[in-house]
Structure 1
Amino acid sequence: MEETQMLYEIKLMDDDFYKLIIKFAINLVFATLLIRYIYYRKTQRKDHLFTYYMISIIAFMICFGLKKLEIGTGMGLGLFAIFGIIRYRTTTVRIKEMTYLFVVIGLSVVNALAGKQISYAELFFINGATVLFVYLLEYVFLQSHENTRTVIYEKIDLIRPEKREELKADLEERTGLQINKISIGKIDFLRDTAQVKIYYHSEDPDEFFPDE
């Protein structure tokens, strides 16, 4: 009977296969909530969806395989150190995107390595609490950010304190932003220009201007 379940010394199926299916389904559900319904809804950026999904799946499969093969802790840490040297050379990845990437990998590792010491209730709580906190931070507590940009302003006659409202109105008309505060920096009387720093709120720090 044992021989009929083997193919070239590899089992055709064992009980861990069903555990793999259940854990993979849990990981995929919570990854979808995090990636598709929180991250994508907030940023509308499709370019990172493929990356997040595939890293989630691959990290899960690697961890499940490492646990199944009972590879030592040292080799496991060495393998995940590879993730630490990954760089996206072709584009700048913001801290927020890297944080989402870390969360995706973290949940995948937890879901894959969960064993007898952790119940499904605890596993659902870990995933659910993580996704819930990400949602609350994105849509409740940190819904907008105060950003600052410095512009070179040529209407030097408007930088006087008594014309602050005129200066604000002119800057809002030019930039299309709702400005909260204005500070005057260096003034160049030879060129009739001044450095003006504007403060405004937006949901995306890079929504209106590129990084300085």
Structure 2
Amino acid sequence: MPRLALFAIDLVAVSLLVFGLYFPRHRRRDLVVAYLGVNVGVLAVAGSLSSSTVGAGLGLGLFGVLSIIRLRSTELDQHEVAYYFSALALGILGPLSGGPAWFTPTLMALILVVMYLGDHPRLFRTYHRQVMVLDSALTDRVALVAQLERILGARVHAATVERVDLVNETTVVEVRYSYPSSQSDRVLAEAR
């Protein structure tokens, strides 16, 4: 398959990833620019490295350095990291022209399908994660979980205490919880 066609397929794929999947679901405009920029930048660098005598190892090393710098510069949620690496992978796949003509477009489509399904709003829609600050210093795990379930009106699956302040009587806790399906539908409807 001609390289220009692969580049065009990459641009279509990253547009679907960013404008069809990520932005409608998460609404972070700043990451739209980041995902597009990393994809096109990686596509350009990988395209130029694939046609030169510079080794692929150097190119992949550069991508690794770029990833580390970007991921350490701001805190990203795990789903945002997944989109980041999907944009990165699409950019790396764009200049690959070895193998059958269908191979690279199929891998790009696979990335899009996995991201569509893995980040679908209906998948695990009753499960939530939240960091809470409680107005009491709780050191008893059973009491902590009971209070969280009472406040949230949900079943707590995990509660990780991040900090207990005995002076100000507060507890910071990361809680993972779920609502029954019918209650989750009501909570989602109220949030809209």
Please give the range of the TM-score, normalised by the shorter of the 2 chains.
0.5 to 0.7
Q: Superposition pairs for residues 33-44 of structure 1, below 5 Å?
A: 33-44=16-27
Give the counterpart of 2:103 among 104, 119, 122: 122
Relative to structure 2, which stretch is displaced further, 103-112 or 78-87?
78-87
Match of residue 28 from structure 1: 11
Inter-partner Cα distance in structure 1 for 2:25 and 2:47 = 31
**Contact 1:179 1:199 (C-alpha < 8 Å) held by counterparts:** no
Inter-partner Cα distance in structure 2 for 1:44 and 1:152 = 29
Match of residue 131 from structure 1: 112
Larger radius of gyration between Structure 1 and Structure 2: 1
Displacement of 1:137 in angstroms is 0.9
What is the identity percentage for the equivalent residue pairs of Structure 1 and Structure 2?
Answer: 21
Relative to structure 2, which stretch is displaced further, 45-54 or 88-97?
88-97
Residue correspondences, number: 165
Secondary structure at the aligned position of 1:146 is classed as strand
Secondary structure at the aligned position of 1:103 is classed as helix
Tell me the TM-score normalized by structure 1: 0.61
Inter-partner Cα distance in structure 1 for 2:13 and 2:81 = 18
Matched AA of 2:32: L
Secondary structure at the aligned position of 2:70 is classed as coil
Inter-partner Cα distance in structure 2 for 1:196 and 1:72 = 49
* CA shift in 2, pair 1:195/1:50, >3 Å: closer
Matched AA of 2:128: E
Secondary structure at the aligned position of 1:85 is classed as helix
Inter-partner Cα distance in structure 2 for 1:89 and 1:133 = 25
Secondary structure at the aligned position of 2:87 is classed as helix
Inter-partner Cα distance in structure 1 for 2:56 and 2:172 = 55
User: Residues 119-159 of structure 1, C-alpha deviation per residue, up to 9 Å, x if partnerless?
Assistant: 2x2222111111111111111434453325454346xxxxx
User: Residues 37-67 of structure 1, C-alpha deviation per residue, up to 9 Å, x if partnerless?
Assistant: 1111110111110111011011111111111
Secondary structure at the aligned position of 1:47 is classed as helix
**Contact 1:180 1:200 (C-alpha < 8 Å) held by counterparts:** yes
Inter-partner Cα distance in structure 1 for 2:60 and 2:46 = 11
The gaps in structure 2 that reach 5 residues or longer are 137-142, 185-192
Query: Is 1:108 aligned to residue 83 of structure 2?
Result: no
* CA shift in 2, pair 1:89/1:194, >3 Å: closer
Tell me the TM-score normalized by structure 2: 0.67
The gaps in structure 1 that reach 5 residues or longer are 1-17, 155-160, 173-177, 204-212
Q: Superposition pairs for residues 2-151 of structure 1, below 5 Å?
A: 19-87=2-70, 91-115=74-98, 117-119=99-101, 121-139=102-120, 140-151=122-133
The CA RMSD over aligned residues, in Å, is 3.7
Inter-partner Cα distance in structure 2 for 1:73 and 1:150 = 46
